[in-house]
Amino acid sequence: MTVTAAPRLELPRPDGTLETYAPGEPAAFEPPAAPLRSRVFYAAAHVVCDPLAPGDPGGAARLDWEATLAYRRHLWRWGLGVAEAMDTAQRGMGLDWDTARELIRRSVAEARAAGGEIACGAGTDQLPAGRPASLDAIRDAYVEQLDYIEGQGGRAVIMASRALAAAARSPDDYRSVYDSVLAQAQRPVILHWLGEQFDPHLTGYWGARDLDEAAETVLALIADNAERIDGIKTSLLDADRERVLRRGLAPGVRLYTGDDLNYPELIGGDGERASDALLGVFDAIAPAASAALQALDAGDHAGFEERLAPTVPLAHRLFEPPTPSYKTGIVFLAYLGGHQRHFRMVGGLESARSVLHLSDVFRLADRAGLLRDPELAVERMRRVLALAGVGA
């Protein structure tokens, strides 16, 4: 009997040396046989760019539509919802509103055909970047995107707005805009509190740099509009603060964790309350996230923790500062997994992380059992290293 040797490659270390590395066997994850029910899980999905688009990195975004939609089908297959046109899709980092609008149209139609859950980001990014905007203009921009999403049949995520962060002078300014936008919603929306770690332009959101004061504003907003709000996604990377906010929510309003570092404990809950999830890291760890929720559905909390624990070191590496560059590692893992034929990104952001970082992502994804085809992953990792002159 012939035994095939495990694929090996030379991975760089921080000291400049190389180590011979052989990935292990992928974990034996299985898609769910029935809809997942213990929590609501959304994966904020990345986009696959057209590598032959002209003008990159400065030109308008152009996507590989089939590969982009195929990745959404992959997420639905694992029982996850898709959070569309969010920051993971490079909203505000190369994905303009015109392209996002087409992405939303196609993805909502695909969700309908697949029977998958979808929520789509409504923002204000059709306003000219870097130019002051009035509160009325910001409100109208939000409403335009909200109306479009709902007109397609989607649920809206009211994204944090850079324009509003720049224009607002007090919590009352935020309240006036959000109250007006929520009044136009035809179905409950998801609010979005994105911390400054993910976008420094959003420092002081809700009218206060002090996060306790900001939380008071958003909780009052939710209490006054609870019938129009499904939940709020918080991406503050502060588990204790999320628990406090979760306890203060109006009855029936969900807390969707956006904490890509502390998600197991927040989703697992404290015995009284638990967070649902809308996470960029779920794009990369969908099989493990699905397996964890399947365990929860079966009442197996130890199995839930066991399935997510190996993904946490990977998440910490993906989302290390500068945190907005996490998107590079997400796309890199999709490339290693064979979900797209190239490692290119809108705006050329594949260059936002070092080869050492990508090598660690490779190792940690392997240790989490997420390299579904180790031979393919090794071949593609070699290509990335060769472009950096490693092993060439």
pLDDT 10s digits, 62-106: 999 999 999 999 999 999 999 999 999 999 999 999 999 999 999
Which pLDDT score, from 0 to 100, does residue 166 have? 97
Q: Please give the Cα distance from 25 to 239 (Å, whole number).
A: 33
Instruction: Return the higher-pLDDT residue of 391 and 366.
Output: 366
Split at pLDDT 50, 70, 90, the class of 44 is very high
Range of lowest pLDDT (79-83, 377-381, 385-389): 385-389
Split at pLDDT 50, 70, 90, the class of 271 is confident
Split at pLDDT 50, 70, 90, the class of 56 is low
Q: Please give the Cα distance from 91 to 125 (Å, whole number).
A: 8
Contacts of residue 169, Cβ cutoff 8 Å, sequence gap at least 6: 207
| Residue of 10, 9, 14 lying closest to 357 (CA atoms) | 14
Q: Is the pLDDT of residue 1 over 60?
A: no
Q: Is the pLDDT of residue 392 over 70?
A: no
Mean pLDDT, rounded, of the chain: 95
Which pLDDT score, from 0 to 100, does residue 3 have? 45
Q: What is the pLDDT of residues 239-263, one digit of tens each?
A: 999 999 999 999 999 999 999 999 9
Contact 108, 120 (CB under 8 A): yes
Q: Please give the Cα distance from 10 to 1 (Å, whole number).
A: 28
What is the rounded average pLDDT of the residues 219-237? 97
Percent residues over pLDDT 90 in the chain: 93
Q: Is the pLDDT of residue 58 over 90?
A: no
Contact 75, 43 (CB under 8 A): yes
CATH of range 39-309; options 3.20.20.70, 3.40.50.2000, 3.40.50.12240, 3.40.1390.10: 3.20.20.70
Domain definitions of the chain by residue range: 39-309
> What are the tokens at 311?
């993904």
Which pLDDT score, from 0 to 100, does residue 129 have? 87
Q: Where are the alpha helices (DSSP H) in the chain?
A: 65-77, 97-114, 135-152, 162-167, 171-184, 211-224, 239-248, 263-268, 281-284, 286-297, 301-308, 311-318, 326-336, 355-367, 374-387
Q: What is the pLDDT of residues 301-326, one digit of tens each?
A: 999 999 999 999 999 999 999 999 99
Which pLDDT score, from 0 to 100, does residue 130 have? 84
| Torsion angle defined by CA atoms of residues 234, 240, 246 and 247, in that order, rounded to the nearest 10 degrees | -160
Which pLDDT score, from 0 to 100, does residue 137 have? 98
3-class DSSP assignment, residue 229: strand
Q: What is the pTM of this model?
A: 0.96
